[in-house]
A and B are shown apart, each in its own frame.
Chain A
Amino acid sequence: MVTANARARSVRPRSRPTPHTAPAPEPLETDAETPQVVPVTAALNAALMAGDATPVAAEAATAPLAEQFIRGMQLAVAECWNLGALSSAALSTIVVVEMELTLDAKPVANSIKMLGYEGGDDISAERAFETALRAIRGCGAQGFELPKDQYATWRRVELTFNPEKMRVR
């Protein structure tokens, strides 16, 4: 009685673990003054020029990021990581997502990619990745709380979304 004439699904991820680029033609909603991604060295120079160009500042630029910032970013993303509409299979899938941040700690829209996944099939991974994508874009649009003088340490971020604790079974 009813027939489907078009494709039942969207494009699936390529063979794993090939990085999967988010199909995001539209840039993130940002204000006009949002800086674009700058090379690491340029960013470091900018940070150093802005403050005291001392050895202490240079060390800060490469030192590991303080736990408080890592925790802050975890909390910020977790707040938007909504697993409520995911299939049981996708809830058993861990996805690893890579992204680049601008100097004001906003995700660069086309930089968000799935690096790999574990525990599910291609479709589950794609659904899990979409959920991660919403979390990053939803809660990252205003920028994460990260120290500008350490831009080199957080310019590229790899996020592992592990739903094990959220699983219903």
Chain B
Amino acid sequence: MKRLIYFGVLAFALWTGAGMAQNGPLRIEITDGVIEPLTFAVPMFEAENIEAVTIATEMSRIVATDLSSSGLFREVPPSRFIAQRSSFDEPVRYPDWRAINTQALVTAAVKTNSFGRLTVKFRIFDIYSGVQLGSGMQLSGSTKAVRRMAHKVADQVYARITGEGPYFDSKIVFVSESGPKDQRLKRLAIMDYDGENLQFLTGNENTVLAPRVSQDGKQVLYTSWETGFPQIYLLNVSSAARKRLPTPDNGMAFSPRFSPDAKRVVYSFEQGGNTDIYLLDIASARSARMTSSPSIDTAPSFSPDGRTIVFESDRSGTQQLYVMPVTGGAPKRISFGNGRYGTPVWSPRGDLIAFTKQSNGRFGIGVMRTDGSEERLLSASFLDEGPSWSPNGRVIMFTRETQGPKGAPSLYSVDISGRNLRAMNLRSPASDPSWGPVLP
């Protein structure tokens, strides 16, 4: 309330201020600024023992790469550094960093012990303000987890400076593809957010589609043609054990997604040419029908509070997005733009819904408010589809497929501002990303 009063008084003062003698402070409103990546420097981490030298070098590069990859930061290359740091506790020479237009500085020191433990301590400095941000942090872990430790450091820097949640220390499950376009072999794979540490979760004997990671990152739902028909499977990420979910036998089950607590699964079931949305309680193995329309209702996704789903349906004559309570009720259409909308996914922050839009012969990824307002397209190409949110709700990853007989899918990411469109650097074609949570 005090804040509102303050702003009311301020507005009155601004309104009446022109042309009058001035008693209080000079009041100025700044409404224009610049949108540029924040410049940062990461001097090579100090190695506190000889065994940590290689690790220190590797970690400092990973941290710098993570921050740059977000598109919100731009690295000042070490070749431009004036200040040469000799120890972690050495005072920061702010003028030297200002002189090379560095806005944020990350310093760190790394040490290992004979038990295979790695400790990294780090500090973040705001160069223009001439202060350290926060009191510094220390992380410890296995020397086998150097990349993860570096991602954790980058996450803390990113979160402290931007105010967004972290996302670098996370994994992505996707469909790894190989072979000619008309005979693609598809299997599930998992990798770090930056494409490293690729591992396969299934063989390529059965085509798989649309993996969806649970909110705790421990399980994956996917659709497989193992029985000759699409059916839904549940896979344990650590053991790779899998089981078919108990969906009805007399039709095709596909497009599954977990509820936020991973106790229920919402999915599509096709029978006799009609596709509706069902809700499966995993423990009781009971499915309940959620929609009953003579149309194709598919691609359901839960809101983060688990109370609502968004899905696509052609019940209006064209493919559009609808929301409805999980407890039942009439679906409400939320997309009204020109074109067809599909594959909606609720943001983990709950504020936006990402979708695929087909319009004028092109496909793009967009976002809108959960009531359908403020629609914005973030990408467009021959074929962009299947958005998946980063755990902090700031970045969207999706599949982009190139045109022609040699066309192949690959993974791209884009900031929700529409900036920083980037291709993932993977060795083979990839599709259907599903971004998991930040690891503990």
Interface residues of A (CB under 8 A from B): 1-10, 16-17, 22-26, 28-29, 62-65, 70, 73-74, 77-90, 94, 96, 98, 109, 115-118, 123-124, 126-127, 130, 132-135, 137-138, 153-154, 156-166, 168-169
Contact status A24-B131, CB under 8 Å: yes
User: Given A88-B416, A157-B25, A168-B418, is A137 in contact with B33 using a C-beta cutoff of 8 Å?
Assistant: no
Contact status A157-B26, CB under 8 Å: yes
Question: Of B3, B30, B35, B137, which is within 8 A of A118 by CB?
Answer: B3
Q: What CA separation (Å) do A97 and B376 show in the bound complex?
A: 32
Q: What CA separation (Å) do A166 and B31 show in the bound complex?
A: 8
Contact status B34-A84, CB under 8 Å: yes
Tell me whether B22 is interfacial, beta carbon within 8 Å.
yes
Question: Of B26, B29, B418, which is within 8 A of A156 by CB?
Answer: B26
Which residues on the B side are within 8 Å of A161 (C-beta)? 30
Q: For the complex, would chain A's binding face be called helix, strand, loop or mixed by DSSP majority? A: mixed
Tell me whether B50 is interfacial, beta carbon within 8 Å.
no
Q: What CA separation (Å) do A116 and B136 show in the bound complex?
A: 27
- What is the number of residues of chain B that contact chain A, defined by CB distance less than 8 Å? 69
Bitwise, B6-20 to A at CB < 8 A (1) or not (0) is 110010000001111
Bitwise, B361-392 to A at CB < 8 A (1) or not (0) is 00000010000001010000000000000000
Would you give 28 A-B contacts (Cβ < 8 Å), ordered by A?
Answer: A1-B141, A1-B145, A2-B439, A3-B141, A4-B139, A5-B137, A5-B138, A25-B130, A62-B22, A65-B22, A78-B34, A82-B36, A82-B38, A88-B416, A109-B130, A116-B2, A116-B6, A123-B163, A134-B126, A134-B129, A153-B22, A156-B25, A157-B25, A158-B10, A159-B30, A166-B32, A166-B35, A169-B417
Contact status A5-B140, CB under 8 Å: yes
Tell me whether B408 is interfacial, beta carbon within 8 Å.
no
Question: Of B140, B352, B417, which is within 8 A of A3 by CB?
Answer: B140
Question: Of B32, B95, B394, which is within 8 A of A88 by CB?
Answer: B394
User: Given A2-B149, A24-B131, is A85 in contact with B73 using a C-beta cutoff of 8 Å?
Assistant: yes
Contact status B3-A90, CB under 8 Å: no
